[in-house]
Amino acid sequence: MQLDRTLAPDFRTIETVQFPTPQSVVLDNGQPLYVINVGEQPVVRLEVLFEAGTWHEQVEGASFFTVKMLSEGTQNHTSAQISGHFDQIGAFLELSHTPDRANVMVYGLTKHLETILEMVSEMLHEATFPEKEFNDIRNITLQNLRVNLEKSAYVATNTFKERLFGSAHPYGRVQKEERITALLTSDLENFYHQRIKARPFRVFLSGQVGEAEIALVNRFLGQHSVSEPLLPTITPEIVSQTESYWLDKEDAVQSSVRVGRRLFKRQHPDFYRMVVANEVFGGYFGSRLMKNIREEKGFTYGISASVVPMRQEGYWVVGTDVKKEFAQATLDEIQREIGIMQNEFVPAEELEVVKNYLAGEFAGSLNTPFEIADRVRLMVLEGLDVDFYSNYIQRLRVVTAEDIQSMAQQYWKWEELQRVIVG
């Protein structure tokens, strides 16, 4: 039978997604290992996470550079040798840092897991922080920072977060040239000993893995004794501002616009209602902001609104880049669209389209073992209920037009929103 491509395929509404349950293992030294054994290809991703983000540093910038320096030299290997070790087996090393934590991640073939673990263990326990490599990374970071500071979008995003949380808060803190320049390798070594070497960690192993791979992780990462960090985590004060901020750059052709406010974490009872309200407003290509500001007014190529939940806090932001002369008009249209959502119910057909889009987007984000592992990691690190993702679609489906109006009225009061325009 020949396929008739003039006919659209049957449409089915996604009501639920079966979310796999990870296997939980305790290593010999008491540290948790979470195993996501899914996938048909013999590949693996190893993640080792530490409570070593910006929240935990006493010297600004120490967390970022400590993590970056883990692969720059150990007692037995140089930076080039470490890089060659992973290249030889076709593995990819990624060292990342957030305000909340530090992450060592390696992708590779399952058959090379032992070789991967051998070097990862050495990096975590025998890093040496050589001066030359530190200066190289610092110079590259400073060069990138100087380039980014010429970009209106970069400045607008950083300024927005600074004004939401305060420049001293981990969620509002941004890279500053003078702080980077003042850092010493001793600052990194101190942070390494305080937060990484022989300190608590979590391991996530995903891909085509089984008992043999679990045993390897235990052999390389489960035999070192672990003790609590030397210094407690400081809970910083939030110093936020609400008045508008407009930075005029004479040579700028475009203005970067950011509008939003502090919000909440995923555990908040309004989280699902806000996700749906945000999607209607500006969360996808068919949203109201896109139809108005891109398609009707032609002010921009793209505008989006996002709910950004984090471990300790969260925020909501609308972001776009527009021609300089359209900046104020763009703000006016954002305010007008907010007013409509505050005073009118979202039509049933529009709401159903958004819910179907969210359901399909969620289902499509679980195609690979590594995408599933990302969700598992989030559940573990943020202490979410075991059914958070299993019931995710059902919780979105019960959101009503009344709920959406309530979210707009409660959280999108124009006078309470931070407005930043750079350009």
Q: Tell me the DSSP string of 24-71.
A: EEE-TTS-EEEEEE--SSSEEEEEEEES-SGGG-SSTTHHHHHHHHTT
The contacts of residue 208 (CB under 8 Å, 6+ apart) are 37, 39, 40, 41, 42, 43, 44, 110, 369
Share of the chain above pLDDT 90, in %: 73
Do residues 145 and 180 make contact, with C-beta atoms less than 8 angstroms apart? Answer: yes
Q: Does domain 245-422 have CATH number 3.20.20.210?
A: no
HSE-up of 391 (CA within 13 Å, CB side)?
8
**Can you read off the two tokens belonging to residue 252?**
């700028």
**For residue range 86-101, what is the model confidence (pLDDT) as tens digits?**
999 999 999 998 999 9
Tell me whether strands 23-26 and 32-37 are parallel, antiparallel or unpaired: antiparallel
Element spanning 373, H or E: helix 369-381
**For residue range 201-237, what is the model confidence (pLDDT) as tens digits?**
999 999 999 999 999 999 999 999 999 876 656 677 7
In this prediction the pTM is 0.89
| pLDDT at res. 113 | 97
Looking at the chain, the domain(s) classified CATH 3.30.830.10 span 23-222, 245-422
Measured CA to CA in angstroms, residue 42 lies from 23, 209, 285 at distances of 18, 8, 36
Residue 243 pLDDT > 80: no
Do residues 99 and 60 make contact, with C-beta atoms less than 8 angstroms apart? Answer: no
What's the gap between Cα 25 and its chain centre? 26
Residue 21's φ and ψ, nearest 5 degrees, are -90, 125
- With cut-offs at 50, 70 and 90, classify the pLDDT of residue 1: low
Which of these, 55, 45, 178, lies nearest to 109 by C-alpha position? 45
Where helices occur in 70-173 by DSSP H, the ranges are 79-88, 113-126, 131-148, 152-165
Do residues 410 and 150 make contact, with C-beta atoms less than 8 angstroms apart? Answer: no
Is the Cα torsion angle 34, 35, 38, 44 positive or negative in sign? positive
CATH number for 23-222 (one of 3.30.830.10, 3.40.50.261, 3.90.1150.10, 3.10.129.10): it is 3.30.830.10
Residue 247 pLDDT > 70: yes
Share of the chain above pLDDT 70, in %: 95
Do residues 71 and 123 make contact, with C-beta atoms less than 8 angstroms apart? Answer: yes
- With cut-offs at 50, 70 and 90, classify the pLDDT of residue 183: very high
**For residue range 294-345, what is the model confidence (pLDDT) as tens digits?**
999 889 999 999 999 998 899 999 999 999 899 999 999 999 999 999 999 9
The contacts of residue 22 (CB under 8 Å, 6+ apart) are 34, 35, 36, 376
